[in-house]
Amino acid sequence: MIGRRTTRATTGLVVSVAVALGALAACKPPPPAVSLSGSTVLPVADDATVTFTLRCAGAKACTGETRVRVGTVDGPVRAYSVAAAKTSAIVVKLSTAQLAAAAPGTTVAGQVRLKEQAPAALEARGVAVTVQRPELPPEETPTSKAYRERNWTPTSYDTCSAAFHRSFSVIGPDGKLYPTWHPATAVDPTTGLMCSFGHEHGDDPGSSDLYTWVTDFLDAKPTESRGIPFGYVSEALDTYASTRDNVTRHEDNVGHKIIVANDVKLVTASPRGVPARRRRAAHHLRLPHQGAPGLALWRCPDQQRPRAAVRGPLHRRHGDHLVDAGPLRQRQPVQPLVRPPDGYHRRQQPAERHRRLAAHPGPVLHRP
């Protein structure tokens, strides 16, 4: 009797344990049917949205709600529905508070929050992600009239492109983009070939001992790029004339010429009152505009001579300003009307002539 009772008790205990385990199994929630597929790095698009992909592993369609958490800031709730054994891209727009939590150029830890409703209702959970916000694009630099309207345009005889010419630019002190000096020929980086602009701007200003000092003043960011801004004076005159009854004038690009002369002696002889120990030398960096190729030479009585005013010995002023070009005359046609063939060009004034003018300046000329 005792053995039978023991067997019955043991059997009853096993049945009770099996029932209990079955009950516990019935209470255990099913595994999630939705998972994050693909990269866990979520870049922020220009329209302030992030995109991620959900995969449904269930035998039936997966539905529920999702949201993106950036740092500790939750975004708006977005419903989702993914077909069985399929994936679906979800696009969520970040809120203003979330954008503030992820500054441009930073990566912030976050979560994709998921709350499944079908095939089974599950508690909300989070999948770790990183939200990556790129740097803001740089603001477009405003352009000067010299760069925008008076820049060089190639002819059929020129082999360099206008885009290559525009790459020789510098930001002036007013924050605007200006054309600047370039060699007469250069290698175009887009083609790898040597090309010709068909014009020149004189000496390389970088060879001047004054170059760094001048560009520190004339360039907005001299530590990044240096250059002499062509047309900056005319741009400044536009601002000045806007408040007065004045007119201004913008020159063509080709006529801007750079003249460099270093260590020019101010006293070459031994005049009375200037002992040898007081003799000085000066550096010249000049930017005249040679307007002869344009109509201005024939229509304007005042022309700018290619010399700058400097202070010479004995406090005398040397150099030329506006001079009288004579009475108005009829413009004559250029001979030849087109550039000569076979690669020839019109003869240009050599730089040595300008250096001689700098070394031996003449008296000040005035209009009669």
Q: pLDDT for 285-298, tens place per residue?
A: 998 888 654 455 54
**166: in domain:** yes
Q: Say which residue, 145 or 316, is predicted with more confidence.
A: 145
User: Residue ranges of the alpha helices (H) in the chain?
Assistant: 2-27, 96-101, 145-148, 162-166, 211-218, 232-241, 296-299, 351-359
182 plus 61 within the same structural domain: no
Say if residue 116's pLDDT is above 60: yes
117 plus 240 within the same structural domain: no
- Predicted local distance difference test score (pLDDT) of residue 73: 95
pTM, rounded to two decimals? 0.48
- Predicted local distance difference test score (pLDDT) of residue 249: 79
- Predicted local distance difference test score (pLDDT) of residue 356: 59
Instruction: Compute CA distances 336 → 294, 299, 345, whole Å.
Output: 15, 21, 11
Of 70, 76, 75, 84, the residue nearest 33 (C-alpha): 84
- Predicted local distance difference test score (pLDDT) of residue 158: 92
Q: Considering its fold, how many domains does the chain have in total?
A: 2
Q: Say which residue, 146 or 277, is predicted with more confidence.
A: 146
Return the structure tokens found at 263. 């260590």
Say if residue 55's pLDDT is above 90: yes
Return the structure tokens found at 117. 């409703």
160 plus 255 within the same structural domain: yes
Say if residue 89's pLDDT is above 80: yes
> Which residue is associated with the tokens 């003043």?
217
Say if residue 66's pLDDT is above 60: yes
Distance CA 87, CA 70 (A): 23
* Burial label, 363 (beta-carbon count in 10 A; 0-12, 13-18, 19+): exposed
Q: Would you mind telling me the total number of residues written for the chain in this entry?
A: 368
Q: Say which residue, 324 or 113, is predicted with more confidence.
A: 113
Please compute the mean of the pLDDT values over residues 169-190 and round it to a whole number.
Answer: 93
Say if residue 136's pLDDT is above 90: no
**Where residue 29 falls among pLDDT bands split at 50, 70, 90?**
confident
Distance CA 205, CA 261 (A): 10
**17: in domain:** no
- Predicted local distance difference test score (pLDDT) of residue 268: 58
Three-class secondary structure of residue 207 per DSSP: helix
What's 84's domain CATH number? Answer: 2.60.40.1710
The DSSP annotation for 11-22 comes to: HHHHHHHHHHHH
Q: Say which residue, 86 or 323, is predicted with more confidence.
A: 86
Say if residue 114's pLDDT is above 80: yes
User: Among the listed ranges 215-224, 310-319, 322-331, which one has the minimum average pLDDT value?
Assistant: 310-319
Which residue segment(s) compose the domain that 109 sits in?
A: 34-133
Strands (E), 125-233: 125-133, 169-171, 177-179, 185-188, 193-196
Q: Please state, as a whole number, how many other Cβ atoms lie within 10 Å of the Cβ of residue 232.
A: 19
Please compute the mean of the pLDDT values over residues 355-361 and round it to a whole number.
Answer: 53
154 plus 91 within the same structural domain: no
Measured at the CA of 222, the angle between CA 218 and CA 224, to 5 degrees, comes to: 145
306 plus 176 within the same structural domain: yes
Of 62, 49, 126, the residue nearest 91 (C-alpha): 49
Distance CA 15, CA 148 (A): 92
Final residue of a domain: which of 133, 161, 195? Answer: 133
Say if residue 67's pLDDT is above 90: yes
Say if residue 86's pLDDT is above 70: yes
Say if residue 310's pLDDT is above 90: no
163 plus 89 within the same structural domain: no
- Predicted local distance difference test score (pLDDT) of residue 350: 55
